[in-house]
Every structure is written in C-alpha cells, then in structure tokens.
Amino acid sequence: MKSFDVPQQFRSSFISAIKNKRKQADKLKKDFTPTTLELGDLSISLARHFGFCYGVENAIEIAFKAVGENPNKRIYLLSEMIHNPGVNADLIQAGVEFIMDTKGKQLIPWDQIHADDIVIIPAFGTTVEIEQLLKEKGIEPTRYETTCPFVEKVWNRAEKIGLEGYTIVVHGKPQHEETRATFSHSKEHAPTLVINDMNEAITLAAYIKEEIDSATFYEQFKGQYNTTFDPKRDLKRIGVVNQTTMLASDTQAIAEYLKQVMKAHYQLDDQSIANHFADTRDTLCYATNDNQSAVQAMLETKADAAIIIGGYNSSNTSHLVELCETKIPTYYIKDELCLLDNFEIEHFNFHTKELLHGTLAPTAKKILISAGASCPDAVVERVIERLCQLHQEKQSWEALKSNWI
C-alpha cells in the first residue's frame, strides 16, 4: 500500500513499531486479537486496527502539500479536513481557513472566494453543486481534492446501479458531509433517498408494500430525498449504498431487510430478486470494517474499562464506542488532556452530545484502547503514557517503549 508524507507531529514511532510487527506476522489481516501491553500493574489491550486510514493519510498529505506549494495565496478548506480537532487545529495554524462548518453552515461568504484562491476538497468529498460553483469562480476543484477513494467507490457504484434503473437508498446520517456529498452525486443519475437507521428502513418498507399513503412520505423523509422523488414510482427497484463510516453490520442488516421485503412483496426467488434489488455489498469501507472487527475481537478480552479516542463529531469513532458500551464501561475522549488528575476523566456522550465528568477508578487496571480512523497515532501514544503516569508506572512505560522502538 502507498505510503504518505504525513507531518511528524501525527506520527508515533512506538505505535508504528506495534503496527508494523502485527502486519509482518499477519499480512492477510486474519488475526484481530489485540496487542497486550504489560505496564507493571497496568495492562492495556490495544486494538489490532485503529487510527489513520488510507483516505485520511491521503487527505492530510494533499492538504499540507497545498499549504507548502502556495505560500502567498489564501488557502481554504470547504469544511473540516477530517473529524479530528488536533489535525484541523494544525491546518488552521498553517493558515488554512474553513469556508463552512461540518453541518454546512457558511463561515466565509462565497463572494469572498476568488479565482486565485486555493480551495481544498475534504476527505468526505463535496456536492456536485459546490463543484460547479467553484468552477464558475475559476477554481479547479480537483487540483487539491482529497476525497477518499472509498467514498468515490460508493459514488461510482451508485451511478452504475442508478443507470441500470434502480433507486439509490443511502444508509447514512443525513447531515454528515459525506452523506450530503453522496446524495448529491447519486441524484445526478437516479432517484435517491437517505435513511438513517433500521427504524427508517422499516418505515420505508411500509411504502414499498403500499401499506401507507404515499402522501405522508414527503413529511416523514423531509430533506432526505431528491426533489422529483415519487414513492409510488421509485420504490419498485432499489439498491442500498452507505456512508462509509457507518456500522457495517447495520448497513448489512438494513440491506438484507429491504431485500427480504422486496422478495416477499413481489414474490421473488433468489434468481429473480435482482429485478427489484441490486447487490451493493462492495460499498463497505475496508478500514471501517477492520476497525470495527478489531474492536469486537478486543471486547473478548476481560477488562475493567474501554477508552476510545477520536474527534467528538467523528462518525466512525462513535460507532466504535457504540460497540464497546454495550459490554463494558466505555469512555470516549479526544486526547490525553481528558485524563485529569486523581483519575478524573472528561468524556463525551455521543448520544446526548454532552461532555461528562467522571472517574476512571484506580482499580481499573485492565483497559481496552482503540481510536477512530482520523485519530493520529501520536495521540494514542500520549493517552497510554498518561495512563501510566496516573498509575505511577513511568519506569514500566519507559521500559516498554525501549523494547518496541
């Protein structure tokens, strides 16, 4: 796999050594068991896969390249490069400004953006409408485009089945940048609808089966369909694609459920189901799958608590938390500064969007750790080091690092 030129402040020689050793011993990535780090009385189980993925490293490389190549120009990002506060703060410090926030709210008016400015497309991609707007301003959107190749894969798959006459059902968070981009690209080729979860899939099924008057569809799915969508016409042939950072198991469950609805409603067998339901399993992101599988394997290790590290608006990180919190006390933190003195901990409840203050019990000496795909390895190392400080295991930490590096 290609290696990227990512600034050193995001790297960790310690974490890299662990990842490289695991990769050499398991090149086919079949072993998802965690790496155990013994630090005196403290034991940490580190997930097999975590941290920067291909798409994130590609985006960071391009963004800092744009800064380096254009010292006398104004440089903008459409929105956050990735959902990690540290990475975005470093870009701001380098002089990059954000045109919009993560929800699409305008921070810098379009009339202040000119042809000689540099505009970077974030890893989530952007909409067809914004691409066209940039072109009209004389800005080539592909010059510094960092759209993740796996997001583009979803767009390509949606285009293919759309041209084959299927309506596109996007499993994603309607306000997420990636889902907004996927929706925009998909509706260029086919009727498109976004559903957030299985509950909305069940509601959609009622329209497929014509159990609900189609007139109520527009209110129930307000803001989640293209303007010409007609549920009577457009729900006869469908295919499911996803926001790449959703829970893979949720997307698979929704796709299978809607497939079975189609089979029952149209009285189809396995050979004829393709007339009404497109097979789109190949749109799931490999990094999302690997990180989620690694967390599920990590949860088989007996432990006192789990710590998941990442930006609080990171979709893929929140799903790692979701996997953990059903089985073990779980703390969602953005960095080592959340681990306060006296074992106090500041952590995030992604369900309520609240910052909470609690206590990580000193007796919690067996801890599981993973991180989202936009979390730098350097942050993971600093979290481990901070846990060692709290448990007064500085010597164990230094010895462990020297053994790995």
Is there a single domain that holds both residue 292 and residue 395? yes
pLDDT of residue 282: 67
Instruction: Identify whether 178 is a catalytic site residue.
Output: yes
Q: Is 2 a member of any domain?
A: no
Residue 179 identity (one-letter amino acid) = T
Catalytic residue among 145, 178, 200, 393: 178
Structural domains counted in the chain: 3
Find where tokens 């974490």 sit. 15
86, 116, 136 - which closes a domain:
136
Is there a single domain that holds both residue 181 and residue 170? yes
Give the structural domain span for 66: 54-136
For 43-57, how does the pLDDT look when each residue is reduced to its tens digit (9 = 90+)? 999 999 999 999 999
Which positions of the chain have pLDDT values less than 70?
1, 282
Angle at which helices 177-186 and 149-163 cross, to 10° = 30
pLDDT of residue 259: 96
Q: What are phi and psi of 240, to 5 degrees?
A: -105, 125
Q: Is 92 a member of any domain?
A: yes
pLDDT of residue 1: 62
pLDDT of residue 141: 92
Q: Is 159 a member of any domain?
A: no
Is there a single domain that holds both residue 320 and residue 264? no
Is there a single domain that holds both residue 226 and residue 323? no
In angstroms, the CA 252 to CA 257 distance is 8
263, 284, 305 - which closes a domain:
284
Is there a single domain that holds both residue 41 and residue 59? no
> How many CB atoms sit inside 10 A of residue 28's CB?
5
Question: What is the pTM (predicted TM-score) of this model?
Answer: 0.90
Is there a single domain that holds both residue 376 and residue 302? yes
Strands 277-278 and 238-242: parallel
Pick the closest to residue 244 from 181, 299, 187 (CA basis).
Answer: 181
Pick the closest to residue 126 from 180, 176, 162, 83 (CA basis).
Answer: 180
Structure tokens at 132: 């066209």
